[in-house]
Structure 1
Amino acid sequence: MLRIYIIASLLFFGYLFNSCNSSNENKETITIGFSQSIDNDLWRKSMDHAMEVETLLHPNAKLIIYNADRKVKKQIQDVEKMIQQNMDVIIIAPYESDSIVPVIEKANRKGIPVIIVDRKVNTLNYTAFLGADNVEVGKLAGKQIVSLSKGKGTVVEIRGEIVTYPGIERSKGLQQILSKYPGIQKISIDADDFNSPKSKFVKLLDSLSIDYVFGFNDLIAYNAWKIAKEKRPNNKIKFIGVDGLNGTNGGVEFVKEGVLTGTILYPTGGAEAIKLALKIKNKEIVPKMNKLNTTLIDTLNAEIMSSQFDKISLQQSDIENQQHFIKEQLQKYSSQSNLLKALIVLSLVIFLFAIHSIYSRIIISRKKKELELTNAKIISQRNEIEKFADEIKRSNEVRLNFFTGLSHEFKTPLTLIMSSTESLMEEEKIRDSKLIDEMKLIYKNSNRLLRLINQLLDFRKLEEQKFTLQASKTNIFDFTNEVMINFKAEAARRNIDFQLSCKSKNLELFIDQNLMDKVYFNLLSNAFKFTPDNGKINISIVENQDNTVKISFKDSGIGIPDNELSNVFQPFFKASNNSKNSSGIGLHLSKEFVLLHHGTIDLKSKQGSEFVITLLKGNNHLAKDEIVENIDNKNIAQNIITNHLELESEVENFNLAADSEKHSILIIEDNSDLVAFLQAKLTKEYTVYTSDGSDGIEKAIEIIPDIIICDINLVGKDGYEISKALKKDLRSSHIPIIILTAQSSKEAVLKGLQSGVDQYLTKPFSLSILKQSLSSLLFNREKLRYYYTNNIYRVEPESRFGNPEQTFITKMNEIIQSNVENPKFSVEDLADKMSVSRVQLYRKVKAIMGINISDHINNIKLEKAAELLKLNEMNISEIAYSLGFSSPNYFSTAFKNKFGVSPKEYKTSL
């Protein structure tokens, strides 16, 4: 009850405190926005000042001025901003009459009153217009000129911005008066650069006798007077301006000083605009057009007008000072009032807390005794729980040790089963396909069971913290490729787009290869498990600027529900949309292994799942005992085979011998059974690629295999067309092609040979003959390669090797020979002259000659060097530099490697 009373008292005093503050805010604040078009004009500044002074007289009014600085776009943006701020009234002094119209109409549609001042606009969708009658201004100027001239003389009208309504109307008013007097000649010019000797006004002074000058504002009239005074010091020209501002450089001051004969008062209307805005906001009826009175100021009334203006300025200054004083007093009063209220409330609160503290002390004393009794009971219960927990822990430890030992016992018979099954599968005497399939099933499920046991053992080791990181420097691109090899067959079988993207193929990280391949296999196993056929799985390796590397595993599978993402790495977790068998510890192990690397693993699930591993570069983050010497990647490959992943369908075991040690074959055949047969029979000796014919040419150009086996009847283009296209293409013309077809007629064989194939075999065929044909063609290709390599540039067009390769080599050698003494000649230059890309040139030369293009150019240079040594016209250093070698020492080394003797010994022997 006491607390309720304290809270109620505080609420009461808070209400009392705020009520006084809000008393000054009962009146609604009226926000007025003003868009001024010009910033550096004295008349415009007077308008702004008049508005500010008038606003001070209305405490509930707030004025915000935006200045467009003669920029139409800026003025439109300012008005847009005022509309967005939902100002109560918007006042606009437009710079242009047309461009501002859309935003004025927009404010009108939004229900915001718009007042246009000074210049008119080409729309009537505004609330009110306020400004002087510019036609009347022109008439007043005309009347004074007529009065002074008695109907005769020359008048120069110097206009400002004639494109604006004020300029047009002033000129119109002047014309209406002067047109009645034929003796008065009027000349109109625009205000240009007065200081230029070529200005229009200067030309008129030189060519005419001018009697009167009417400037569209006082500043224009004053500048014209200065020029006339400089050109004709004794001139009798009378100058009339517009604005009639008081003070320095004002029209009234110019009249008093005799510079101007007269000036027409053009009221700014600043104060009137604020009054009009407040009337509109208070829903008073105001006229659409509001005219400001104008009058002529000449030598007769200039003193009186100046005196009146001074009094007005003085009154405005007093008003401003009084308003500032009132604000200061209000602030002082408000602060003192708030302080007094705060002291009263604080005193009351202190009193209430004093009462509450006495009451609380009594209650605390009672509660203390109750807590002591409760604490004693809790301590007793805690001791019992700890004793029970120790018993459970010991019992659980015994069970886990038994389970771990049993798991180790499972591994021995499983290994024997797998070894025996694998041995039987390789036995040539077994021909029963059903028996082979059953043995594969035994091997696959035995391998699956072994992996599950290994995962359980890893989980137990993690619990006991027995894992020690053994990180070594590893090329992460090569490591990832090694793992991906084991998934390529499954990806191909299910038509899954399985790709690796990595910009830096030489990127090295310190990782425990044994642990990291388990992470890779877990993540890829899940990706293949949940990605449908024809889906996508992508691995990307990105090097970041913060000394980290991100390895992303992204699939197009079923994904994981958002509300379950935080539980994915928990042991034994299974997602609600996962209907497949799963142990639930693979991802938990993956996370723990990444953490051992001092990295992180994160999961995103949007249109599939994406696991992102972040690892640090270098080894500064690792302890000394966590770093070991480099481990051969081949061992990792073996581990990958042993720990083969769990897939939903069978994944074949491929021989992991390095592809670089085998020749590559592209089989273009649309019979899947025949393709499978050839793959099975040729895989041990060759790296086999396949195509059903729809992409045969594209695949051949992409792979550049060592040899091609092609059928005739295919999807899309037939075998003849494919062979002809490949033999004509510079990139693939060197590849031997074997036609393997059921068409055995003489015409078919002849057509095949005409299309450029190297051998024509008919079905049914002998596998031994096919293998021997492959060996013979590759052997002949090696002989041709040997010939090219050892004859370098002595290949002639009339030699017996009359084929596209010989033409290619001959042309290439001619280009190299013609540039052999050009030290700036590069491989890129050679490729450009051969009309091929650098990559295509490299592949072509490598395939034909067995060496790279740089070595070939080097060999030709060395042959040329031998010729130069025979001529004995240059010393060894001169020959080395003339042929583009970086130094004589490097030249000598290269020469000795090729010819077996140094250049000096070679020269001496000659």
Structure 2
Amino acid sequence: MTSKINFIIVIGFMILLNSCNQYSENKGKISIGFSQSISEDDSWRKTMDNTMRVEASLHPEIDLTIYNANNSTEKQIEDIEKMIVNHLDVIIVAPYGSDSIVPVLEKANKKGIPVIIVDRKVKTSNYIAFLGADNVEVGRIAGKYIVSMSKAHANILEIKATTDISPGLERSLGFKQITDQYPNIKRTSITAVNLESLNDDFSKVLDSSPKLDYVFAFNDIIALQAWEVAKQKGREKTIKFIGVDGLNIPNGGIQAVKDGKLAATILYPTGGSEAIRLALKIANKEVIPKNNKLATVLIDSLNADIMSNQFDKISQQQSNIETQLNVIDNQEKKYITLYNLMKLLGFFSVTILCLALFSAYSIISIRKKKRQLEITNKKVTNQRQQIEKFAEKLKISNEGKINFFTGISHEFKTPLTLILSCVESLNDELKSKSNHVKKDLDIMYNNSMRLLRLINQLLDFRKIENENFNIKVSKTNLWFFSKNLFKEFKREATKRNINYTITTNDENLDVYLDKNLMDKVYYNLLSNSFKFTPNGGNIGIIINKKAEQNLVEIIFKDSGIGIPENEIIELFNPFFKGSNNYKNGSGIGLNLSKTFIDLHKGSIEVKSGTGTEFIILLQLGTDHFNKKQIISDSDYNDENQEEKYNIESVEVIKEIEEESDKKYSVLIIEDNIELLEFIAAKLNRDYNVFKSDGKNSIETALEIMPDIILCDLNLPEKNGFEICDTLKKNILTSHIPTIILTALDDQDTYIKSLEAGADLFLTKPFNLKVLKESIKGLLYNREKLRYYYNNNIGESEVNSLGVIEKVFLNKIDVLLEKNIDNSSFSVEELASCLNISRVQLYRKVKAVLGIGISDYINNYRLEKAKELMKTTSLNISEIAYSCGFASPNYFSTTFKNKYSISPKDFRNNI
């Protein structure tokens, strides 16, 4: 009987211990339930579940349960109902359907259970928070990447998701927002019902679209499947594939980018860790935002390795944490077992006391390890956050550097080209003692100064980055200082008919400033004003002394294209370029200007509406400078005296049209050096002569675009027929008259010359006078054609033009007609639409028509305006704007200069 009682006591004691342990384990627990919509066969969903488990394991107080709906809305509703019945603290839902699960979500909300929606949106607002990436931004990133890589000229296929879920709709919306801005981007789309149907649908697209450039798929799996189909067709290398997800797994998007299968993938974070952290904040009654966006980033060949390495490190650290937590789990289980055994045996024997001491030691050891692991977990979390910040900074830095070096390369290109051309011209001019030497020297000098200023800007920018800039101020008469710099731009203003003024309310105002630095501020602001102000506009400098505030206000005001309001805040950031700025530039001028003003303890702000105003405020006196920064005017050391140059020869904005001189250019292609030099010497007086030994003749012709070509028949690489045929079929050189020189005098050679497109056939030995007169005759005929067409702009047919020239000019007219009301449609944009450079466009039009492309565009707009005045009842202002003129006043001035009659009088005479 006694043994039975003892047995019952022992059993009761064990039950009591177990209930106490369960109570202590459940006390303080936060129960979180997660309803996953898609099975774990999906890699992205599997990653989401795994990151949730890892994050939950970092918080011992969290009890996480994951329910999988396996692609079934009914199953998901059933799972959520179960979580409501169990009164969980927080419910996380990745919706499978956006409509059908709304009632059960609202039911949870009424029960007071907070609901977090992740990834996909639902058609109700009765939830605590939404967590997910900005899918519209994902689509925009893909669109921007394709636009930048294709220079806004591409054929794109968009492969959409199978259902109308929010991520798919928003990605398509964002992608459409970007690509619809560029008329030369052609976008089509198909829907991937499943991978089998995708094979058939995409195969048909490939068969019907031989010029497909890009494929944007809504996830990496679809993108890789499309790549496999393209590979079967042998087109995987000509089409660039972009996916979404960017998983760092063997078959994930990052590995596909590294393998060259995908051109890029867009990181689409699962948000598992963030969802658990958000649920924990809700459970702890913390205030959280309704919408929580996850950052995303483009991953391409430039950063795929970096991102892969960072994710690998994070995965390794998470794996280590899981291992350590498992060890803790096992230790805790051992501790509980030993602890219970100690209490049980304590009833019967003193020996249990030893076990109790051992258990106490184990507790201390485990807690110590646990504290160490918690510290390690915090470090890992901090490192992960730092890695994310570093990746974002790296992205911004890379984009800025790419934009900077692209801009500065273009900025250097024009002055270098002009200097080199003038050096060649100067060599010929000096031999013949031509009176054009002074002009070439001016051009060389001006552009050398432009290069010097650009290089100095780079050096200044570097000094500022290293915080190595010393300011030296001296007493300066602000009116004289400003007026001297004002004069440097006077010639440019006169040439472009710009109303250019400078005013002040105190001509005797003295200001302490660093002349070197303030010179650069004036130059940058005035350069920008002239760059973006149209001909006939207004530019002014206003200097006002504000005695009551002890300040001087300097205003730079223009009537240019202005700055978008939402971009003003970024205007002074380094490398920034406005969305309406189509001109090349380094993007550091305004940043340097603001820095120099800050060094003067002043301020600069910008206002933009109709035109732009830059307002500089400087303090008067010397109280805001320390003694080391103030020097006397006699001590002033101009560090940049090499920049002081002839005011009369300064031209701030050099147009390409100014680089040609009055003489025609001749390209001589001859492999006999003595003959080559002889002909060149004889023609050098009357023409600009260029020479080629036949090895790079086509490249030379495309580079210099001569007015006429003399080509020998027998050459080392390609013969004269082949060279002539190639140049005549090229749209850039088809207009150039070509004379074939040969020792052969048979009928077959003459016929082949005509078939190759040669304009004249001369046999050796030829009479030099005949050659010169032949050149004059061909150039004269070309000038007659130019004159005819220049006076018949708007007529689509000119019989004397070649087929290629007709097609080329017709393309220009179509583009001008399409953009007739766009006053900001520039020569650069026109050249880009024609897939040629600005220089090539200018030279082609100049060679065919004898006028610059800017004049051609202007004449086209004026002819269109004349037609509208004859055929419509629109007023003068409406006609001006509809024909692309920036203002009615500028239109009237231009119209009167062209036709010697004002628009109003012209209409009255009709």
Normalized against structure 1, the TM-score is what? 0.36
Q: Which has the larger radius of gyration?
A: 1
